[in-house]
Amino acid sequence: MKHAAVIGIGSYLPERRLTNQDLEGMVETSDEWITTRTGIRERRLAEIDQATSDLATEAGRRAMADAGIEANDLDLLVVGTSSPDMIFPSTACITQANLGLTCPAYDVMAACTSFIFALQNATAAIESGRARTVMVIGADALTRHVDFSDRGTCILFGDGAGAFILQASDEPGVLGIELGSDGKGGDVLKIPAGGSALPATVERVEAGLHYVQMAGNEVFKFAVRVIPKATEAALAASGMAVSDLTWLVPHQANQRILNTVAERLGVPDERVVSNIELTGNTSAASIPLAVDDLYTNGSLHPGDVLALVGFGAGLTWGAAVVRWTKEVQ
Ligand code: COA
C-alpha cells in the first residue's frame, strides 16, 4: 500500500487587521480581558470582496508552488470549510476554477474540524490507489457569520486559509487518523438560520439567527476533554506515544485550551504550536496555518512527528499523526 506524504504547504491571511483595541470601540470589552481569557491580540478579516474561495485559492496557489506541481498534476481537491461562498456550487469547485484545475473537487463540512476530516479523505484516496496527488485546503471566513455586537463570540474568530499537497509515497507520511462526532452536542455551537431548517427571512435575519451562537463554557469543557483523547488515540493507531511528538498542533481556539491540553497530555509548552495571538480562531484554516508557520520559520525537519488535533461544532473532533518528510526550502 502507498502512503500519503506532504509534499507542499501554503497559507494565506487577509491583510485587514482587527485588534483588541478596535473591538474595545465596538463592544463592552477590554484588551486585557480578551488577552487573559483567550490569548488573542488581533485577527484578520477578509476584505468585503473576498469570499472563502479567494482565501482558499491563494493558499492553494502557494502550496502548489511549494510542491513544484502544475494544475494537471492534481487528482483531487478537497476543501474543508463551514463558511462556503454559497450553498452551491461548492467552495471547492469555485477554487478549482480559480486555480485552473481539472480534477474532481468537493467540500467537507465539519466546522472547525473540517481540515482533519478533509485530510482523512485525501489520505484514504491516496492509500486506496484512487489518487496520486491531492490538495487539501482548510479555509474559512467565519467572521462573516459573527455578530459584532455579541462580545461572547466576536472576539474569537478570524479569517484565513491553509493548504497541504499530499502525494503517494513509499515513505509513511500520514501515520494515523482518529475522527469523532457527537451530534447530540449540536446545540452548544451553531448557526441556526440560513439552511433548510430555517431559510433566510427578514424576521430571522432581524433576530440574528444567521449568526454564530455559542455556549462558550460548554465548548471549552468539551475541547479540553476530547483533544487529549483524540491525540492519544491517533498516536496509538500510529504505534507512537506522546513522548515521540516533535510538535502538538491543536486547533487555535483559545490559548487556555492549548495550555490545559498540553498539561493533560504531558507535552512541554515549547512543543505546543500557537499562533492564536495574531490569528484568532480561523476555524478550518487554523491547523494548516499553524503548520505553515512552523515550516516558514524553519522549525520543521524531515522525521519530525506532528499531532494535528481539531475540534468544533457538530460536535466533531479529529487528530492526525503526521511524519514530516519534506525538506525545508
Ligand atoms: N469582554 C468582557 N467580558 C466578557 C466578554 C468580553 N468579550 N465575554 C464575556 N464576558 C463576561 C461575561 O458576560 C461574564 O460576566 P459575568 O460573570 O458578569 O456574567 C464573564 O465575562 C465570564 O464569562 P464566561 O463566558 O464564563 O468567560 P470564560 O472564561 O468562559 O471565557 C470564552 C469565554 C468564550 C473566551 C471561553 O469560554 C472560550 O474560549 N470557550 C471556547 C470557545 C471556542 O473555542 N469556540 C470555538 C470552538 S471551535
Please tell me the distance from the alpha carbon of residue 122 to that of residue 132, in angstroms, as a whole number: 10
Predicted local confidence at residue 327, as pLDDT: 79
Give 78's strand partners. 106, 136
Segment 95-145, tens digit of pLDDT: 999 999 999 999 999 999 999 999 999 999 999 999 999 999 999 999 999
267 CA from centroid of ligand 1 (Å): 26
In whole angstroms, give the CA distance from residue 229 to residue 240. Answer: 14
d(CA 310, ligand 1 centre) in Å: 20
- 103 flagged as catalytic: no
Please give the C-alpha separations between residue 128 and each of 77, 137, 309, in angstroms, as whole numbers.
16, 20, 24
Q: Residue 224 C-alpha to ligand 1 middle, in angstroms? A: 16
pTM over 0.85: yes
Among 37, 222, 281, name the best residue to mutate to test ligand 1's pocket (greatest count of ligand atoms within 8 A of Cβ): 37
3-class state of residue 279 by DSSP: helix
* Residue ID of nearest Cα to ligand 1 atom 15: 152
Lookup: cell for 45:
478579516
CA distance readout (Å), 74 to 3, 18, 81, 88: 16, 35, 20, 22
Residue 321 DSSP SS3:
strand
Contacts of 210 (CB under 8 A, 6+ apart): 145, 191, 192, 193, 194, 200, 204
Question: Quick one: which atom of ligand 1 is closest to the CA of 29?
Answer: 1
pLDDT digit string (tens) for 184-201?
Answer: 999 999 999 999 999 999
Domain boundaries, the chain: 3-171, 176-323
Give the distance (Å) from ligand 1 centre to CA of residue 194. 26
| Residue with CA at minimum distance from ligand 1 atom 11 | 152
CATH 3.40.47.10 fits 176-323, yes or no: yes
| pLDDT at residue 329, as a whole number | 63
The DSSP output letter for 184 is G
Enumerate long-range contacts of 192-200, CB under 8 Å, 24 or more apart. 195/87
> Do the domains 176-323 and 3-171 match in fold?
yes
Query: Using a 6 Å CB cutoff, which residues line ligand 1?
Result: 29, 33-34, 37-38, 112, 151-152, 155-156, 214, 216-217, 219-220, 223, 253-254, 281, 312
User: Over its length of 329 residues, how does the chain's per-residue pLDDT go in tens digits?
Assistant: 899 999 999 999 999 999 999 999 999 999 999 999 999 999 999 999 999 999 999 999 999 999 999 999 999 999 999 999 999 999 999 999 999 999 999 999 999 999 999 999 999 999 999 999 999 999 999 999 999 999 999 999 999 999 999 999 999 999 999 999 999 999 999 999 999 999 999 999 999 999 999 999 999 999 999 999 999 999 999 999 999 999 999 999 999 999 999 999 999 999 999 999 999 999 999 999 999 999 999 999 999 999 999 999 999 999 999 999 987 76
Predicted local confidence at residue 114, as pLDDT? 98
CATH of domain 3-171: 3.40.47.10
| Beta-sheet pairing, 42-45 with 189-190 | unpaired
Which residue among the candidates 93, 112, 154, 254 is catalytic per the annotation?
A: 112
In the reported structure, the alpha carbon of residue 286 is separated from the centroid of ligand 1 by a whole-number distance in angstroms of 20
